[in-house]
Structure 1
Amino acid sequence: MKKILIALFFGLGLLGGVNAVAAEGDPAPDFTLKSLSGGNIKLSELRGTVVLLNFWASWCGPCRTEMPLLDSLYQQYRDYGFTVLGVNLDENRDQADMLLSKVPVTFPILFDPQNHTSESYAVDAMPTTVLIDRNGVIRYHHRGYRDGYMDKYHAQVKALVLE
């Protein structure tokens, strides 16, 4: 029983030496990731902008459904200090490139093949969407995607860009 509890505490990050993951109300963990365009994007350089992080993978059906809807959201609010960052988690970038050729988007696509960034955002479902306010604080964390989620995203993004 003791071994199980120790494993559980390590898994939850409750013992020293283990990095805790960020949750709603916490500062968003900073990261720098390579983008599809070839440059790097650093989250902290987007301070002052409302950021929607969307963690996705090419094999994820709901991700494919959600991506054009997120692109529409991006187009609607980008002139109001809002951006979407699509963070791909495929180990093989070719798989992401193949999907993007079929489902093109205009928002920046980033690559996290070692999953370091996704781990710091507690990504345990595909897709996972995190909304970060202009001050760099995580305000909303959504697991998965279902019909009706875009209505939530629209309302939350609108409220955040108006703050």
Structure 2
Amino acid sequence: MKKIAIVIFIILGCNIFIGKAQERGFQISGKIDGILEGTLFLMSDEKGKLEVLDTTSIMNGAFVFTGKVERPLSAYIMVPNSKNYIPLILENVNFMLNIGKTGVLIKGGEQQDILNQFSKINIDLLEGQNRIQEEFKQAQQKGDKKKMQILQKQLENVLENALQQEKMLLQKYSSSYAAAYVIFHEMKQLEEKFLIDKYMLLTKAAQETVPGRIIKTYIEEWECLTEGNVAPDFTLFSSTGDSLSLYPLKGKLKLIHFWSCEDIACSQENVELLDLYQRYHLKGLEVIGVFVGNDKQKWMKTLIEDGMIWIHGFDENHRVADLYHVKKLPTIILLDAENQIIAKNLFGKDLQRKIGEFLKKSK
């Protein structure tokens, strides 16, 4: 069963009311079940990276944040000893949070109310996906192919329903900061066409918010990565212990291969790339493997086991993958000698044909 990438805001059972605006700013008051003391962090990633806005102490399971914002601002409360976070859109109103073991009850302002409506869609999608995947696993164990096909169709319907609900909310709240924020959080998981479609649902006011401007910049960066444009240079740690940069590499044709050890499709692609490399390297093909992951030891082991004898770089923080807007692995990008993009995501016979034709013309 194919996996579905979704953005999940961890909020359950949200009953919201719009708090009365306070001239002094916002106040976030809350309780946490099971944690009597500790430190909470109020953080924001509106500018594309996490920034600590404030910290506060938990006393007898209760906490308070206070502050003031000039406009709506996306933020998170990080819970001690947990990977979960509580998303907020700060406005100068009172917030009330009740953080339980099974969910979070939030009462806040107008933008928070909108955000929670989007979050509810994602939560319902996650619950539906988990239920269907469990049933699919059971059907798979029994070898019930008919049931598996039915469940696959159900999963597609659940996803389509969630997408339609989200679109309706984007249209309803097209002028809101929250709508732009939701798209901002999804953008790196979306194919560019779908991202542009969602972005165009926003009014000018929403497009000019901070998350709206980040989305616009992201789309503009992607447009610079289409065929005919020059690919951006990068430098990575190489498998030989030196630094590896794209532009200094010589070759009539450069093939950038973004991959990971965990993906079966990547392992299959490694076999095909070895054949292409052996066939075309002396004719001008240079292959640059970009490993997207954090495990250097596993990376080096895979290079040896799969016989990956071409050039390799280690993209530990996904910096180059993000630079090239890589959405899935493996991803392949073909460049000419001047680093101009000539093709993207060709595989199998299509990739072999393109390489053969290009090198034949460039003799």
- The TM-score, its normalising length taken from structure 1, stands at 0.85
- Unpaired runs of 5+ residues, structure 2, are 1-172, 188-194, 196-213
Structure 1 contact 47–135 (Cα < 8 Å) conserved: no
Percent of pairs identical after alignment? 25
Q: Which amino acid aligns with 2:221?
A: A
Structure 1 contact 23–121 (Cα < 8 Å) conserved: no
1:88 paired residue number: 291
Q: 2:221 aligns with which of 9, 20, 45?
A: 20
1:136 paired residue number: 339
Q: Which amino acid aligns with 2:183?
A: L
- Unpaired runs of 5+ residues, structure 1, are 144-148
1:156 paired residue number: 354
Aligned-partner Cα distance in 2 for 1:63–1:96 = 12
Aligned-partner Cα distance in 1 for 2:344–2:319 = 18
- Number of aligned residue pairs: give it: 158
The 3 A distance-change label for structure 1 pair 94 and 48 is closer
- The TM-score, its normalising length taken from structure 2, stands at 0.40
Instruction: Please state how far the C-alpha of 1:6 moved relative to its aligned partner.
Output: 5.4
The structure having more radius of gyration, on CA atoms, is: 2
Structure 1 contact 55–87 (Cα < 8 Å) conserved: yes
Structure 1 contact 47–136 (Cα < 8 Å) conserved: no
Please identify runs of 4+ aligned residues in structure 1 that moved more than 6 A. none
Structure 1 contact 69–150 (Cα < 8 Å) conserved: yes
Aligned-partner Cα distance in 2 for 1:35–1:133 = 22
- 1:4-15, aligned counterparts within 5 Å? 4-5=179-180, 7-8=182-183, 11=187, 14-15=215-216
2:234 paired residue number: 31
The 3 A distance-change label for structure 1 pair 98 and 48 is closer
Q: Which amino acid aligns with 2:180?
A: L
CA-based RMSD of the aligned residues comes to 2.3
The 3 A distance-change label for structure 1 pair 109 and 48 is closer
2:273 paired residue number: 70
